[in-house]
Amino acid sequence: MTETITMSDAKAIIENQIEELARRNREPEWMTRIRYKALEAFERAPLNDPVISEERLLQFIAKPEIEGLPENIESLDDLPPEMKALLDRLGISEVEQKYIAGLAVQTDTGVIYNQFLQEWAKKGLIVLPTEEAVRKYPDLVKEHFLKLFRVDESKLTAYHTAVWNGGIFLYVKEGLKVPFPLHLFFLIQESALAQAPHIIIIAEKNTEFHLIEGCTAPILVKHSLHLDMTEAYFHEGAKGQLTVLQNWPEYVHTRPMTRAKVGKGARFINTTVGLGTGKSNVANPKYWVEENGYIELNGILLGQKDWFVDLGGEMYLQGKGAGGINASKAVIMDESTVITRGIIRAEAPKTKGHISCDALLLSDKATMETYPGLVSKVDDAELSHEAAIGKIREEELFYLMSRGLDEEKATQLIVKGFLEPMLKDIPMEFLVEIRKIIELAVSGGM
């Protein structure tokens, strides 16, 4: 029988976590005060989640870790057999397998990468774990931390703010153009395994960068609820790309919270590749776009087993000539449910926005729902949406099978072709693994 956890119990647990984090991170008093303010808001804040009830949330807080996982992983041999087998099938290198398992990784590549970032820091590129940035750049963090969210918006926002740990702080100095993708594979090893990482991105005027978060293989997290928060600020003329690679274990509930301000003439392309969404994934990112700014939100989803995915996306086109695209492609299998909701609000003249949603159903028991929303407060906005939900056509399968492919290989080829247009900006080393995962998912090998 599950032990009943009261609100008082949960708040006491959170308070202990706050004290532990403040001590461990040696954080300044102003940050600890923010945590306590969030704790005060937690009880009265609403919880509008389609899967997690208040009772269940309190249980997550009382017992955040999953039972049945190895207590201590000292080598790859300690991994659950099914996970080790999957990593081997994907062709994941031993170094990356250790990272995924949460083992300490000391490699020449990691050392070189850190030296490399130190050189770029002299040019104005700051990349640090967020808790370290709080100590080293307190004024800069204070100016941007929790400025796009309110702690009392929801219980999940309040809980994240109270117990956040890990995450990335990325600052790009005015005029700096970073000519290579930043994949923080070695730098944020512990942050990737944290329950509530907080990510802050600040791109000053006329900067350029591409940040890649996560990895394509499933990470052995031990918690059952993952609450990451991203706050991004793109100043005038900045151009940024954020590529998020996710492959959560099937026992994890993920609640990513992302918001961004896109300044005058700035561009932000945010691509999420959801190879494993976890038991449930509910998100509603928000973007505010100023004059001639542009936001592009791309989402790729593989719905498997009995997973539940509900993804929104609100764009506020606030400046003249602002534009936005919200595009998603979903492949839905087994008994999974995928819901997409996109809203574009045109609040200034000559704004343009488009929502597109395409879904491929591979099972009679899978469910797809889409709810596009277009709202215009001006008479010269151009807003549009399109949606297509369907199954693989018999004639497509027949054609490929007549060319010598069996049904499984033909289905894999069709699915990869369906998703390929969304993968145009993904570096090749990740594309190879993404395609392998798609093949395994379609053939039931995940």
**Given this model, what pLDDT does residue 156 score?**
97
CA distances 34 to 18, 45, 138, 166, 361, Å, are 10, 16, 13, 16, 45
Cβ-contact 169, 133 below 8 angstroms: yes
pLDDT of residue 425: 78
Specify the pTM. 0.89
Quickly list H helices, 91-217: 94-100, 108-121, 130-136, 138-144, 155-163, 189-192
pLDDT of the residue at 224:
85
Q: Could you tell me if 299 and 274 are in contact, meaning their C-beta atoms sit under 8 angstroms apart? A: yes
**Count of other CB atoms within 10 angstroms of residue 88:** 11
Query: Which residues in the chain show pLDDT less than 50?
Result: 1, 103-112, 186-192
Task: Please say whether the beta carbons of 377 and 347 come within 8 A.
Answer: yes
DSSP state letters, 368-402: EEEEEEEEESSSS-EEEEEEEEEE--HHHHHHHHH
Report the Cα 336 to chain-centroid distance in Å: 19
The b-or-e profile of 265-287 (16+ CB within 10 A means b, else e) is: bbbbbbbbbbbbbbbbbbbbbbb
Which amino acid appears at position 147 of this protein? K
CB 253 within 8 A of CB 283: no
CA distance 225 to 52: 10
Contact call for residues 305 and 336 (beta carbons, < 8 A): yes
Evaluate whether 320 touches 352 at the Cβ level (below 8 Å): no
pLDDT of residue 378: 97
Token digits of residue 330: 């979903």
